[in-house]
Structure 1
């Protein structure tokens, strides 16, 4: 199987090029009996996308645009999302395995109680999103993603890695982050440092964490005080 590896973290990618696997073009993601397999869904422009109690297996979703997206109890196995724009995404009570999100806009997304296992986010925009109780049950990589003002709340990201991401005002609000690999990022503007116990960083990043802590505590430097 193909994998994507950054430092010590390897994600198993969707197995869509195996011999004998043929992806059929479909016009909807609603499969029979709540299951859609071996499919290619492309260039749809929707006002609303609502899926519930659905299993997506072995497929590609390309160029999908939706003005409002709501996914509930949606299981994803071996699926590649490419060039998608899912506005106002709400994704709850779901599991995503062996999936890739590449060049996708997921700005303002709300993910809640979603389990991730072998998931790659690459060149994606997740600015202003909220990820609540999101759990990395297996390896998860965010590579070259924008996470400006994104909040991880009560998340479990011990098996995750962020590399070359925009983390300006990214907040970590409670949760478990032991082993989270934050090397290769500028950490000087992150928030919620008290939650980030036992993470993995480079020594040079300690100065960035000091800068972030200084901003978070809103300290005043004595040198800046006016003499009385």
Structure 2
């Protein structure tokens, strides 16, 4: 009988019952600006270049942020549904109590970001960059992180479910305690010492054996 994965308590975003409904055309991102308690729907906020934007207690649906650079973005209590963050630069950002649901984060740069109570659900994060990030008390569910760069990232109390890490690079990452049993880790790039304490299936062990230099023959 397979032991059930450890449950991680992740605090959900606290969204007010009453939000100001706005269209994308009504939003102007400015550096050092606070955006709070809005429900934003369908549109484009692409190729923005802003510093230190604060977003609180808000919902964004069907919105495209493609190609934007939000250096030191600060998110708290935010929900993104079916949004496009392709190639968005989140470097040095803080992401707290935030949900990305059905979002496209292909090639997004999350390097040196801090995550707490964040959930990625049904997202496409192929080629995403998580280098040197601190990802704690968060969850990845049904998400594609193939060919992502997780080098030197710290994963602590992170729950994984049916998430693909095919050919992801995790050299230098803190992975201890991660349960990969429902995930695809074929071609995962890591050093022997990086794999200490991870939880995998016997079938996955065959793939990991290549990193250890073991040859398995029947």
Shorter-normalised TM-score: what interval?
0.7 to 0.9
Q: State the partner residue of 1:128.
A: 127
Larger radius of gyration between Structure 1 and Structure 2: 1
Q: State the partner residue of 1:206.
A: 202
CA distance in 2, matches of 1:131, 1:35: 25
Q: Does 1:182 align with 2:167?
A: no
Looking at secondary structure, tell me which structure has more strand per residue.
1
Q: Does 1:156 align with 2:154?
A: yes
Runs of 5+ unmatched residues, structure 2: none
Alpha carbons of structure 1 residues 121 and 135: separation in structure 2 relative to 1, 3 Å: same
Q: State the partner residue of 2:105.
A: 106
Aligned CA-pair RMSD: 2.4
CA distance in 1, matches of 2:55, 2:71: 13
- Deviations along 1:176-214, one digit per CA (max 9) or x if unpaired, are 222223232133332215212222x25xx1331332332
Is residue 188–residue 210 contact of structure 1 (8 Å, CA) maintained in 2?
Answer: no
Q: State the partner residue of 1:117.
A: 116
Alpha carbons of structure 1 residues 33 and 221: separation in structure 2 relative to 1, 3 Å: closer
CA distance in 2, matches of 1:221, 1:7: 30
Count how many residue pairs are aligned between Structure 1 and Structure 2.
210
CA distance in 1, matches of 2:111, 2:197: 24
CA distance in 2, matches of 1:177, 1:118: 17
- Deviations along 1:75-124, one digit per CA (max 9) or x if unpaired, are 10000011011221111111111100000001011111100000000000
Alpha carbons of structure 1 residues 117 and 47: separation in structure 2 relative to 1, 3 Å: closer
Q: Does 1:97 align with 2:93?
A: no
TM-score using structure 2 length: 0.86
Q: Does 1:24 align with 2:20?
A: yes
Is residue 172–residue 196 contact of structure 1 (8 Å, CA) maintained in 2?
Answer: no
1:28-177 correspondence to structure 2 within 5 Å = 28=27, 30=29, 34-136=33-135, 138-177=136-175
Is residue 187–residue 209 contact of structure 1 (8 Å, CA) maintained in 2?
Answer: no
Alpha carbons of structure 1 residues 29 and 104: separation in structure 2 relative to 1, 3 Å: farther
Runs of 5+ unmatched residues, structure 1: 1-5, 224-228
